[in-house]
Amino acid sequence: MKTLFTNAKFYSMDKRDDYFDACLVEDGYVKETFKGNIPNFQGNIVDLKGACVLPGFIDSHTHSFEGGLYSKGVDCSNIKDLAELFELLSQAKPMSNMVFAWNFDENSITEKRFPTIEELDRVIPHMPLLLRRSDGHSCIINTKALHSIKWKYPLPEPFTGLLRGDLNDNAAHWFHKNLSDESILDAYHAAEEIAFKTGHTTVFTMIGDAQDDVLHFDLIFKHRLDFRIDYELYPQILNIDKAQKCNEFLVGGCILADGSFGSHTAALCQPYADMPDNYGTAYQSQAFWDKFLLTANNRTLQTAVHCIGDFAIKQLITAIERAQAVGESFLQHQIIHCELVDDEMIERMAKAGISAVMQPAFDRYWGGENGFYAKVLGKERALSTNRLKSLVDAGVLVTGSSDWYVTPIDALLGIDSALNMHNPKERLDIYEAVSLYTRNPCKLIFVEPSFGFLVRNSNADFVCLDKDIFEAGNVKDTHITAVYKKGTKVYGDS
């Protein structure tokens, strides 16, 4: 069926200031666009009521499974103290006979500490409990979980319930693996609905334990057509042979070169300002990454690796340069997060064609002169975090994402954050900021502009806003009025 969408300003994102007034959609694709003279059309007509229309938003790095799963658990983001935490946990609804809680930040509560395993046991004694820190790089468990998990690594003594690094991943992935298929699929459907409400029509999501287990990748691939949203699936493992069987082009996601600033495990060239003896943790050697990148590059597999600190980022840049010296150089290997870089590193990334998959909201939440980055890194070094404008101006492909569940899946929040970085030198203009969540992710995986653009033959995926953000130059007080996937409304008033 043909449908004419009209009475709107459609931005194609093909180039700056390129817009049209109406478009004809057939079988889920844009067949024609019209500017000025709109033809007399007798079929189905949809009046978009003066909306500003953009291509459907794309989030280029999420943990959608966890995002959907944890949305059904206990959200700890607004608790004031441990008493409130324990009250919420006592009311939690179990999933597959386990309790999940997330978004906990010990720095934001009165006690300024994690709960102990004994305290958690008093609240949840008979079911495994997982309480994840907001950055995902630390967690707390109860005794029931302690005795249920098959541990791959020695536990710290005395054991308080707090886990970091490999032990954190060991615990979290045990919980995830012990969910039923029904619960897993339910989590992805919940994630789909949350994504639609925030204007997303395509979501890149990571599946795997960041080591050797691809977890439920096959289940989601088998059911991929059951979802209305497009999930771009990353096999998040270090095993290249297994990854290639899942995806002939991509390997990785949050396979970890280091940890996070919040857990003081991001690998730094200089020590933490608040822990002068701590340089963080490089999870692998340079030799490991050299071999990994060489193998992947020779198989034309594009890698995506989590790197927060400058030491870890330098490891990956060096490994990519060495792989390209003896093999293919067209692949846009991805550095996920890419938080702390200097000018030399940016220049090397541009020369090697390395892309940066970044989260502007990280700066919104943790940047600034008195923010968390300044506390752990020092004020001067904190200014070198999240260098969006410097990377874009150097010619590095930068894409926008949320790292959801770590921050909300919310492209408007990401765009607004990119426009208002704490360091004024790193602020993007409105076209650059919107590009992070539309046209740029399409380039990231070398597909034709079927998504991320509104042009002839592209998917009819678009989001309607109540304000023209290009004319305003900002997204303040902007609201999503409707979202269309392949020409069908998936969110908005009926």
Question: What's the angle, vertex CA 243, arms to CA 239 and CA 248, rounded to 5?
Answer: 140
The answer to whether 2 touches 23, Cβ cutoff 8 Å, is no
Q: What is the pLDDT of residue 447?
A: 65
Residue identified by tokens 């691939």 is 221
Among 41, 115, 39, which residue's Cα sits nearest to residue 83? Answer: 115
Helical pair 310-326 and 286-298, crossing angle rounded to 10 deg? 40
Q: What is the pLDDT of residue 330?
A: 83
Any bridge partners for residue 194, and if so which?
Answer: none
pTM equals 0.91
35 — phi, psi (to 5°)? -125, 120
Q: Is residue 198 over pLDDT 90?
A: yes
Q: What is the mean pLDDT of residues 171-184?
A: 93
Q: What is the pLDDT of residue 446?
A: 67
Q: What is the mean pLDDT of residues 83-94?
A: 95
Q: What is the pLDDT of residue 132?
A: 94
Q: What is the pLDDT of residue 494?
A: 58
Residue identified by tokens 């886990």 is 163
pLDDT tens per residue, range 298-350: 999 999 999 999 999 999 999 999 999 998 778 899 999 999 999 999 999 99
Q: What is the mean pLDDT of residues 197-202?
A: 97
Tokens for 343? 């000018």
The answer to whether 100 touches 128, Cβ cutoff 8 Å, is no
Among 458, 372, 474, 463, which residue's Cα sits nearest to residue 420? Answer: 474
Q: What is the pLDDT of residue 421?
A: 97
Residue identified by tokens 């009250």 is 87
Question: 448: pLDDT confidence band, cut at 50, 70 and 90?
Answer: low
Q: What is the mean pLDDT of residues 175-179?
A: 92
Q: Is residue 376 over pLDDT 70?
A: yes
Q: What is the pLDDT of residue 219?
A: 97
Q: What is the pLDDT of residue 387?
A: 98
DSSP per-residue string spanning 38-67 = PPP--SEEEEEEEEEEEEPEEEEEE-HHHH
Residue identified by tokens 């963080």 is 280
